[in-house]
Amino acid sequence: MTMNRMNLDQLVAYFNSENLTQTASYFKGCANDSVTVDGLIERDFVKRHVGEGDMWREIQSNVTTYVGCEF
């Protein structure tokens, strides 16, 4: 199956830079279920949790997305 993934370390750093430490901790805690061994998290999973507003646009600008990752 192919899907788009985001760099988890960059995502957590973004939330920390916005003083959203609880949100950063939440996504860091997802590492067992939604993150690959190379540190990528499902893009749609992130989008479902933050919505499609300004924060999502900021995340897309600040976090690397890898298109078409196989798993």
Angle at 57 between CA 63 and CA 27, to 5 degrees: 50
Closest listed residue to residue 38, CA positions, set 68, 3, 8: 8
Which pLDDT score, from 0 to 100, does residue 70 have? 59
pLDDT 10s digits, 6-65:
999 999 999 999 999 999 999 988 766 667 777 888 898 899 999 999 999 999 999 998
What pTM was computed for the model?
0.84
Strand ranges across the sheet with 65-70: 40-42, 2-7, 65-70
- Type and span of the H or E element at 25: helix 21-29
- Tokens 């590492």 — which residue? 31
Residue with tokens 């924060």: 55
